[in-house]
Amino acid sequence: MEFKRVVITGVGTVNPLGNSVDEFWNNLKHGVSGAGPITHFDASLQKTQFACEVKSFDATQFMERKEIRKYDLYTQYAFASVDGAIKDSSLNIEEVDGDRIGVIWGAGIGGLQTFFEESRAYKEERPRFSPYFIPKMIANIAGGLLSIKYGFRGPNYTTVSACASASHAMIDAMNMIRMGKADIMLTGGSEAGVNEAGMAGFNSMRAISTRNDDPKTASRPFDKDRDGFVMGEGSAAFILEEYESAKNRGAKIYAELAGGGMSADAFHMTAPDPEGRGANLVMKWALEDAGLKPEDVDYINVHGTSTPLGDIAEPKAIVKTFGEHAYKLSISATKSMTGHLLGAAGAVEGLACILAINNGIIPPTINHFTDDPEIDEKLDFTFNTAKKREVNIAISNTFGFGGHNATVVFKKL
């Protein structure tokens, strides 16, 4: 079967570095940290009291005020990023065929804040749950509500694979167009885990940094003194279209979504395979899917969470996958700035890849102070300062609890 080509014609985001694509990119390339003391709730009893929060978010710009109470924050973030992507794409929603447009969305947890608030209210205030509890909390509701809002009646579901969720959503959405099952797909991911339950849960696992005295330098991918990831939140969205159709309507094309890979570590509930076997497979298969050779790749936006084990395994996998070309690649871990957006990570980091291609700039991995002897120091992690480089092929890695791995390939046109 000959696959159709898929391109990206619209992008949108709301994340800790900005509530628009331009604001996000400006802060990303300048190495700005999105971390700071938590404002969403009183975090004084938490072991970790900081996170990368979305700032100055106003949901009324994207939905009616009476609707806001029906939607968890993760859904509100989805609506915000999608609004930006659709406007950016110049699609006329009134004229397109909704039967041929689908929505595949990614969310690792969904309405965690809703679940926590309703459970606490049931125990402390009232012996009943809100009628909005279930539809507000379930992880698939953002994608469902987006299809309702825009009248998109094509394939619609949500991928839930922890931190790989949005990447899996993008790959599935790409394949729908490739196989002719849709002409246009809306995809991306959203997450809102900066709340009491989310922070306390990851603290109990010892997964997140406790560097309360210096939040902005707490996310330290590949640094010897890293002590866990920093929680982030937000969303990014993409309009995918069949290439010939997009070209014929004169659409602005950011990049081709050229391929994707999926694998499993089959190793441990939360720890990565120490030799990066699953990570090696997923990058290898993503390149094969895109019809590319390892030496074609210019840039990797790595999973790079700032955890003790993960930051050792991924570089090993890169060297195994790319051989000597690994030392010619540019690599960066943008979670050093955005924090870890969990199920939305692949969407925001995919956007970073697209913007690197369009601007010829590799965003930095900030907060590097001390080399780790267990990490190959010959690899170019773009530490602390962005650099100019032509980027024709970029890949984004995302690895989730449970051993779920996804790699997405972006190609300059």
Q: What is the pLDDT of residues 341-385, one digit of tens each?
A: 999 999 999 999 999 999 999 999 999 999 999 999 899 999 999
Is 389 in contact with 412 (CB distance < 8 Å)? no
Q: Indicate if 163 belongs to the active site.
A: yes
Six-digit token pair at 147? Answer: 């299809």
Residue whose structure tokens are 């773009």: 382
Q: Indicate if 404 belongs to the active site.
A: no
Tell whether the model's pLDDT for residue 1 goes beyond 80. no
pLDDT tens readout for residues 289-310: 999 999 999 999 999 999 999 9
Q: Which member of 163, 168, 353, 368 is catalytic?
A: 163
- 345 vs 81: CA distance, rounded Å: 14
Q: Indicate if 30 belongs to the active site.
A: no
pLDDT more than 90, % of the chain: 98
- 350 vs 236: CA distance, rounded Å: 9
The three-point CA angle 216-359-223 to 5° equals 30
Q: What average pLDDT does range 58-87 have in this prediction?
A: 96
- 363 vs 310: CA distance, rounded Å: 20
Q: Which member of 303, 353, 368, 404 is catalytic?
A: 303
For residue 315, the model assigns a pLDDT of 98
For 380-407, b/e burial (b = at least 16 CB within 10 A) is bbbbeebeeeebebbbbbbbbbbbbbbb
The three-point CA angle 256-261-264 to 5° equals 155
For residue 2, the model assigns a pLDDT of 85
Tell whether the model's pLDDT for residue 316 goes beyond 90. yes
Six-digit token pair at 94? Answer: 């009134």
Average pLDDT, the chain: 97
**What count of other Cβ atoms lies within 10 Å of the Cβ of residue 212?**
14
pLDDT tens readout for residues 219-263: 999 999 999 999 999 999 999 999 999 999 999 999 999 999 999
For residue 321, the model assigns a pLDDT of 98
pLDDT more than 70, % of the chain: 100
Q: What average pLDDT does range 21-31 have in this prediction?
A: 98
- State whether residue 334 is helix, strand or coil: coil
pLDDT tens readout for residues 159-180: 999 999 999 999 999 999 999 9
Is 186 in contact with 149 (CB distance < 8 Å)? no
pLDDT tens readout for residues 193-217: 999 999 999 999 999 999 999 999 9
For residue 260, the model assigns a pLDDT of 98
For residue 155, the model assigns a pLDDT of 98
Name the residue among 81, 85, 88, 105 with its Cα closest to residue 188.
105
Enumerate the β-bridge partners of residue 101.
184
Six-digit token pair at 219? Answer: 């996310």
Is 364 in contact with 314 (CB distance < 8 Å)? no
Q: Which member of 52, 168, 340, 404 is catalytic?
A: 340
Q: What average pLDDT does range 148-155 have in this prediction?
A: 97
For residue 23, the model assigns a pLDDT of 98
Is 105 in contact with 158 (CB distance < 8 Å)? yes
Give the pLDDT band of residue 408 (cuts 50, 70, 90): very high
pTM for the model stands at 0.97
- 157 vs 406: CA distance, rounded Å: 18
pLDDT tens readout for residues 98-147: 999 999 999 999 999 999 999 999 999 989 999 999 999 999 999 999 99
Classify 262 in phi/psi space as left (phi over 0), alpha (psi -120 to 50) or beta: beta
Enumerate the β-bridge partners of residue 10.
239
